Amino acid sequence: MVIRLRHFILSLVLLVISVAPVCAQTLQVSGIVRDSNGLPLPKVSVTVKLDNSRHTTTNADGKFALEVPVKSVLIFTLTGKKTAEAVATDKPLEITLEDAEKKNMAVTTMRQTTSINTKYYPLWVIDGVVYKQDSVFNTADLASPDAHRLIAAALPGLSERDIEGFTVITDASATALYGNQATGGVISVRTRHAGQGTNHLNYTSQFTYRFRPSYREFNILNSQDHLSVMKELVEGGTLTPENVLYKDTYGVYGLMYDNSIKYDNGQFIQDNTRAGQLAYLRQAELRNTDWFKELFQNTIKQQHIISLSSGSQKASYYASLGITLDPGWERETHSRDYFFTLNATFKPLKHWSLGIGVNASYGQYHGGNDFTALGQAKTLSRTLDPNTYYRYKYTPYNVKNELKQNYRDDDDINLRFQASLAWNPIRQFRASLVASLQVQSVEYEFTRTEYSNVAQRFRAMDKRIIRNNNPYLYKPAEDVYALPRVVMPSGGYRTVQDYLSRRVDLMARATYSDSFDAGKHIVTATVGSDLYDQMQRNGWHNEYGVNFELGQLQTYDPLIFQWLRNREENYYTRSTTIDRNVAFLGSASYTFLGRYTLDGSFRYEGTNRYGKSTIARWMPTWNVALGWNVMSESFFQHLKPLSSLTTKLSYGMTATMPFVYNTDQRIKPYLPFRPNGINETELYMDQPANHDLTYEKMYELNWNINVGFLDDRISASLNVFSRLGRDLVDISYNQGTGGFFKLYGNVASMTAKGVEISLTTQNIQTKDFSWTSTLSYSRNTNKITKLNSRPDVSTLVSSSGAAREGYPLHSIFSIPFYKLSSEGFPQFYNAEGRIERDNINYSATTNLDYLKHSGTRRPIDQGALNNAFRWKNFSLSVYVLYSFGAVKRLPSQFGTTYGDYNALGHEFNRRWIKAGDEERTNVPSIPTSAQREKNPNLSNAYTTYNNSDVRIARCDFIQLRDVTLGYSLPKTLLEKTFLSSVDLKLQASNLFLIYSDKKLNGALPYSYDYEPHSIIFTCTVGI
């Protein structure tokens, strides 16, 4: 018995001795993770190396805690940051994640929204606060290596230096975060903040040299080819003196005819002999005026910025001050902008932090008004003399003089103030309140001096036919025999327009985040509320009879107000819109073993758009997602060469406001025209009540997968989405009850599908040299599945695109072209399949299957390719952009008559001239006056030709967008100086098109505004 007891005690001692070291082999490790600026990083993945079962993430303050075995190695990962490793210790760790090498991910094309009539644009969000929707910004530029500069150009008051980074949200989670206004996608911009222990002073100067446009990029005939068309018009009896002299606009032929009957100093101004006319026309033929040279200039735009950042444990500051000076790319145009940014963070108490952000800008602009240099250069014939006055709207006109006498001046003030207060009493809980005030005030002054063409139209009556046809003269409506009278006998006139926008945002959030069971379970929950109040005030008024050379003396005639009244026009307008919105939101996230994540969010949003009606005031939005971090699985280490793999599946519903709000009837005032001068106001029903009107609904299914190979030397991302739009608002036909035959209701539906792919490869990676390639591709398609409206032919062939059931939104249809007749007239197939020339029924709404679906205005396939090279301190990137699938209707250039003022396209060089040409060309002839008289409806054929499939061009293009060369001075050269860094960058932007459709005849295929070819030099010096 004693022996047994002794053996038992000995065994127990041995067991305790063996277990004790095991129990002592784990420890609780904690710490904080910051970025390179010293700011805490939330949602950083913390994993034990070779043991993915032990995992946690940092909280909102960048802190973490995890129980791990002794001597474990922790891995810290976050998208966009370099991976870091650290040995676990019992002392708090301080980890810094440096920025990863920037990669140009997928071309950020906003996904097709499922709405027939409501238009949504990308929403700018700055530091978590909504700024505005933007209908102008080209989202393809977000994939550019130069995206920060392009974003800064779109946001007043921000410079490229002020932008820390940006995130693009295109799925349903955008509306879950920012509400209905984010339906078109979100571009969330983070401005720069100073980190703890930083003290930096930087000066950045940027010089942009812009080249003048070239005729290679526009479809415009030279003067020789243009005059050959004019000569054919003369021979055909169109450009004869009796046809040209009394038109409201003319060019070289009209001036020649006019000067032939003007007598000065004992002789006619223009020799009216055959030899004299030929000599005059010979000059015009050889003139070949370069309007881009006349109206543009090669100039250098400058930008200078000073930025300062400083941080300590209690406070940190970032401030920048800058100025942009632009002498004007277009002549008679110049601008300057001043901007200031301040971001400050304070930690007055242990658990409290206060953030303040101020952004202000003031801009001045002087430029074109009713006429712009680019608009005129694209439309003026190259036969015109740049220093000669021709006629426009019955009045002498010279574009160079008009740009001096007809101009606009803008004063633009933008102010954004943001304050945030955060309370973090314990590690797991955080509450925050953000308040923002945004004010924009713009004053426009449009001036037409007494010497401008626009002002002189009010006094143009030197010939009887001009007096009788000039719409700028007053003629009493009740007296058909009265002679027209001048309403502005002297001076010019000015339009003053002012715009004021004030927006107040309040956002409250409370977040709880904790991990349980040694990090196996991570739970995060957020509740909050958003509120905004936006007031927009817009108005303008005209000041007539202003004598700008007489101290702006006003000499207006009261008759001008009667003239305006007869035309049913106002001399002032003012409107105020107040948009109020409140939302309640919540979200929850659960992560198990650091591998499986379930997310859910809900937002309930109310608006004042529907007035007192509560039928459709509240709109719900929700989203659920399931994620799987495959790389945290124990089997993943056996899946070589895979180095990373994550996937996520989400589904959500977004409620969006339609473009009509008539849940109650809408009554508007009106002042009808009375020729006897009696004014009597009336009220009319603009829209009847639709008590069944509700919000539009968009359901979206989205799948994402991210994969890496060979230690992420090769990484790829795939997004597949499907959208279903229901209860979409469109025309609903009825029996005319209440006097309305076309009402809007929730009667339509459509689908949208797409795929987004990006592939990044680190082709070469050595100590001194690297080569990285990024290829991106996106495809967006949509289809209208239900539509009650019945568009007619004129709507379907419109260049703006139309909606038709069974086809994509913004589809362009065309009348099928047959061939030219033996006289060179265009012929087509009609609805019965027969050959037709003049009698296509444009008002038909049935039997429309004969129309050819030419395509859609929206690109289907888009993407980019960027190659980035680095050799020691040098860097080089080459960025190529591409787009396919969109079409456009070419400009309506063809008709039975033409003038001598406007430019014509290169198509006229292929026009039908003689019998038999119909076998080699599809460009119609120029009809003679005899042919027009014989065929009174011939103009219908040329209108139909402009709407035929012949006048469709593809908007496909491949463009070399940017080439950028950078150099950073070695640190060894700066060690003995007061400088910490010197960075130089030389960029060639918007270089040239590698491919585009030949039918464009050189014209640019994309729809956004013309951008000049430019060379940009940037120098940044750090202290």
Angle between helices 223-235 and 274-287 (to 10 degrees): 140
Kind of pairing between the strands at 596-607 and 572-592:
antiparallel
CB 89 within 8 A of CB 632: no
908, 902 contact by CB (below 8 A): no
User: 24-96: which CATH number, 2.60.40.1120, 3.90.1640.30, 3.40.630.30, 2.70.70.10?
Assistant: 2.60.40.1120
> Does domain 303-376+391-608 bear CATH number 2.40.170.20?
yes
DSSP-assigned states of every residue in 343-384: EEEE--STTEEEEEEEEEEEEEEEEESSS-HHHHHHHB-TTS
Half-sphere exposure of 948 (CA within 13 A, CB side): 26
Three-state secondary structure of 793-842 = HHHHCCCCCECCCCCCCCEEEEECEEEECCCCCEEEECCCCCEECCCCCC
Q: How far apart are CA 846 and CA 953, in angstroms?
A: 27
Cα–Cα nearest to 457, from 474, 440, 442, 441: 474
Backbone angles phi, psi at 215, to 5 degrees: -65, -10
Radius of gyration of the chain from its Cα atoms, rounded to whole angstroms: 35
Token readout for 24 is 């002592």
Residues for the chain: how many in total?
1023
pTM of the shown model:
0.86
| Strand 1014-1022 versus strand 199-210 pairing type | antiparallel
- Segment 138-192, tens digit of pLDDT: 887 888 888 888 899 888 889 988 998 888 888 777 887 888 888 888 899 999 9
Q: CA of 205: how far to CAs of 139, 874, 973, 990, in Å?
A: 26, 19, 21, 21
**Torsion sign across C-alpha atoms 678, 681, 687, 689:** negative
3-state secondary structure of 274: helix
823: left (phi over 0), alpha (psi -120 to 50) or beta: alpha
DSSP state of 876: E
866 close to 878: Cβ distance less than 8 angstroms: yes
DSSP symbols for 662-698: TTS-EEEEE----TTS----EEEEEE---TT---EEE
Asked if 872 and 882 count as a contact pair (C-beta separation under 8 A), the reply is no
Helix crossing, 274-287 with 252-260: angle to 10°?
150
Q: What whole-number distance in Å separates Cα of residue 788 and Cα of residue 747?
A: 7
**Helices and strands per DSSP (H, E), number in the chain:** 17, 47
Phi-psi label, residue 382: left if phi above 0, alpha if psi -120 to 50, beta otherwise: alpha
Q: How many alpha carbons lie under 13 Å from residue 477 in its C-beta half-sphere?
A: 12
pLDDT of residue 77: 79
Give how far the C-alpha of residue 994 lies from the chain's centroid of Cα atoms, to the nearest Å. Answer: 23
Cβ atoms < 10 Å from Cβ of 776: 24
Q: Which residues of the chain have pLDDT under 50?
A: 1-6, 8-10, 12-24, 101-107
Domain boundaries, the chain: 24-96, 303-376+391-608
* Alpha helices by DSSP H, 199-290: 223-235, 241-244, 252-260, 274-287
Element (H, E) at 269: none
Spatial separation of the C-alpha atoms in residues 557 and 568, rounded to whole Å: 18
